[in-house]
């Protein structure tokens, strides 16, 4: 194995200690977050009733559960990380391309979560300071937000870097408090909404505001958005399951995903629906809701610090560490981890999260559906290669070989069928994406329908095209010149 890739070495069975309970706890801690609240509130804002939104969310995550469990399989079996698992399908060097695309999605999420945290910081600023600095509160046309809010966003990014540079132990220490604080805050909001609305009846009385034709036009892209929400984690789930004891543990630990998401979404939707009864309008942002509630200042300070803490402890491990490691793996001689983390923060700024969160439609259809056009084809190609072409058998030594005779070298380190399938599956989605962004005014209805169902189209088209081209190119199967077509150790559940 290549000496410069020690951090990519397989995890041996002696270090695979996660049980099903550890995986369940991991998912629960990831699901209980502010962006999940935004996803639920966006569906209500677009006209769905609370139960229609809940069914859409649960349906999306139930569909996602199948590729999630499939993508998890090589983790316990081989102990391999996500970048390595891309090499059989994309090539020893070609794997850097989908790995980098996944890192860009993480940068986008880093921007979104950092902006939400920055809004909490902004709210906590004294009113006297804001009034004395009113000139920095007006949106700058070319920037799209105010100078003060932009500075709060930069400050939040820098604060996360400072915490990260102190080591992951600092993040783990803070994470012990984040989930309980956020759950406590949500419980308090739920009780407040129940009391102010006058019980569950009024609390859940907000009706659907869509006629049947409008509903289906909203449902399909919203379903796609909910599948897309956790699809990036699905793609690199082996980074977590490589530490799991057995296949049984990874399945039992993750099969509860739709249940966890459903419970958190119900509580969120109940709070969101009650705002229409209490205030006469739907308040989609928990930050805005906390600002509206007439409560003692100390309660608001604790609430906003709780939100900030929850975002930091989720954002750093999920959306800073992965892109930073990707950049280091691209060029270990030019990048260290600190430089990779700083680069992640800089790239995050260019995503302009204030535009992503400017409306429910922008968040769901431009952001979530938008990155599904890339993530779903990569997931499909990886799974088709692993299960159908290789029958789950990998040449572990070959994954580290840059020799031209290596099993995954292909053409100068790139597997042409994988990149052809990726390009051919993304291309039909581009017109719909540009139309959604407003860059193209008119496109054919077929492109709109394809984009509204981007995850499904990308997943199935990429897999089918990749398998067809692989068989034609005769690169399928598990052929190897290194003679090791099995894990480095035997392992049983």
**Tens digit of pLDDT for each residue in 170-216?**
776 777 777 777 788 888 889 999 999 989 888 898 889 999 899 99
Rounded CA separation 302/307 (Å): 9
Three-state DSSP at 333 gives: coil
Sign for the pseudo-dihedral over CA of 475, 481, 482, 484: positive
Nearest to 481 by CA among 386, 392, 398: 398
Q: Are 344 and 110 in contact (CB under 8 A)?
A: yes
Residue 489 above 50 pLDDT?
A: no
How high is the pLDDT of residue 486? Answer: 43
The CA angle 265-297-267, to the nearest 5 degrees, is 10
Residue 307 above 90 pLDDT?
A: no
Structure tokens, 189? 């909001």
Rounded CA separation 220/373 (Å): 15
Residue 88 above 50 pLDDT?
A: yes
State the alpha helices, DSSP H only, in 237-320. 238-241, 247-254, 257-279, 286-292, 297-315
Higher pLDDT among residues 326 and 437, named by residue? 437
Q: Which residue has the tokens 């909203």?
A: 218
Q: Give, in order, the Cα–Cα distances in Å from 190 to each of 29, 52, 116, 271, 288.
A: 19, 20, 21, 6, 16
Residue 6 above 50 pLDDT?
A: yes
Structure tokens, 249? 């543990």
Q: Are 307 and 287 in contact (CB under 8 A)?
A: yes
Q: Are 186 and 269 in contact (CB under 8 A)?
A: no
Residue 439 CB coordination number (10 Å): 8
How high is the pLDDT of residue 132? Answer: 60
How high is the pLDDT of residue 491? Answer: 42
Residue 477 above 90 pLDDT?
A: no
Nearest to 215 by CA among 204, 203, 223, 206: 223
Q: Backbone phi, then psi, for 139, in 5-degree steps? A: -60, 135
How high is the pLDDT of residue 101? Answer: 95
Three-state DSSP at 55 gives: helix
How high is the pLDDT of residue 133? Answer: 61
pLDDT band per the 50, 70, 90 thresholds, residue 301: confident
With a CB cutoff of 8 Å and minimum separation 6, the contacts of 134 are: none
The CA angle 234-238-239, to the nearest 5 degrees, is 105
Rounded CA separation 329/333 (Å): 9
Rounded CA separation 21/28 (Å): 10
Higher pLDDT among residues 447 and 166, named by residue? 447
Q: What is the mean pLDDT of residues 11-35?
A: 87
Q: Are 439 and 430 in contact (CB under 8 A)?
A: no
Structure tokens, 377? 């084809």
Q: Are 82 and 11 in contact (CB under 8 A)?
A: no
Residue 33 CB coordination number (10 Å): 23
Rounded CA separation 79/245 (Å): 10
**Tens digit of pLDDT for each residue in 136-147?**
667 777 888 888
Q: Which residue has the tokens 């604060």?
A: 159
Residue 163 above 50 pLDDT?
A: yes
Structure tokens, 93? 């060097």
**Tens digit of pLDDT for each residue in 220-242?**
999 999 999 999 999 999 988 99
Residues recorded for the chain: 493
Please give the mean pLDDT across all residues of the chain. Answer: 87
How high is the pLDDT of residue 479? Answer: 43
Q: Are 317 and 164 in contact (CB under 8 A)?
A: no
With a CB cutoff of 8 Å and minimum separation 6, the contacts of 266 are: 54
Structure tokens, 462? 């990429």
């Amino acid at each position: 194995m290549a000496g410069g890739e020690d951090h990519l070495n397989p995890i041996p069975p002696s270090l695979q200690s996660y049980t099903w309970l550890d995986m369940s706890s991991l998912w629960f801690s990831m699901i209980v977050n502010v962006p999940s609240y935004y996803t639920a509130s966006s569906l209500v804002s677009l006209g769905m009733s609370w139960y229609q939104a809940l069914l859409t969310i649960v349906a999306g995550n139930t569909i996602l559960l199948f590729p999630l469990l499939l993508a998890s399989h090589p983790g316990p079996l081989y102990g391999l990380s996500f970048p390595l698992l891309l090499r059989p399908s994309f090539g020893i060097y070609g794997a850097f391309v989908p790995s980098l695309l996944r890192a860009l999605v993480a940068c986008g999420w880093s921007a979104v979560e950092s902006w939400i945290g920055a809004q909490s910081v902004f709210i906590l600023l004294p009113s006297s300071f804001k009034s004395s600095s009113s000139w920095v509160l007006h949106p700058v046309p070319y920037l799209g937000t105010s100078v003060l809010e932009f500075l709060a966003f930069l400050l939040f990014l820098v604060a996360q870097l400072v915490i990260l540079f102190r080591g992951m132990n600092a993040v783990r220490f803070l994470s012990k408090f984040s989930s309980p604080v956020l759950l406590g805050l949500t419980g308090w909001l739920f009780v407040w909404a129940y009391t102010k609305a006058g019980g569950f009846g009024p609390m859940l009385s907000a009706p659907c505001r869509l006629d049947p034709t409008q509903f289906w036009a909203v449902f399909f892209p919203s379903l796609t958005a909910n599948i897309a929400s956790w699809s990036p984690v699905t793609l690199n789930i082996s980074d977590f399951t490589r530490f799991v004891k057995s296949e049984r543990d990874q399945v039992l630990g993750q099969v509860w995903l739709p249940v966890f998401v459903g419970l958190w979404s119900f509580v969120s939707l109940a709070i969101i629906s009650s705002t229409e009864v209490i205030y006469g309008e739907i308040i989609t942002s928990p930050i805005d809701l906390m600002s509206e509630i007439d409560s003692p200042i100390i309660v608001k300070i604790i609430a906003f610090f709780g939100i900030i803490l929850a975002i930091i402890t989720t954002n750093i491990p999920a959306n800073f560490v992965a892109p930073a490691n990707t950049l280091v793996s691209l060029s270990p001689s030019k990048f260290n981890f600190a430089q990779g983390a700083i680069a992640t923060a800089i790239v995050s700024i260019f995503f302009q999260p204030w535009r992503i969160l400017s409306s429910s439609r922008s968040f769901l259809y431009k952001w979530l559906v938008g990155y599904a056009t890339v993530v779903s084809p990569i997931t499909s190609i990886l799974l088709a290669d692993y299960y159908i072409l290789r029958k789950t058998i990998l040449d572990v030594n070959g994954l580290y070989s840059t020799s031209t005779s290596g099993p995954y070298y292909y053409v100068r380190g790139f597997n042409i069928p994988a990149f052809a399938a990726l390009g051919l599956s993304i291309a039909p989605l581009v017109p719909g994406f540009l139309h959604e962004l407003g860059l193209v005014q008119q496109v054919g209805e077929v492109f709109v329908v394809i984009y509204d169902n981007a995850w499904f189209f990308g997943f199935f088209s990429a897999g089918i095209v990749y398998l067809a081209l692989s068989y034609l190119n005769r690169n399928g199967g598990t052929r190897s010149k290194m003679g090791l077509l099995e894990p480095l150790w035997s392992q049983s559940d």
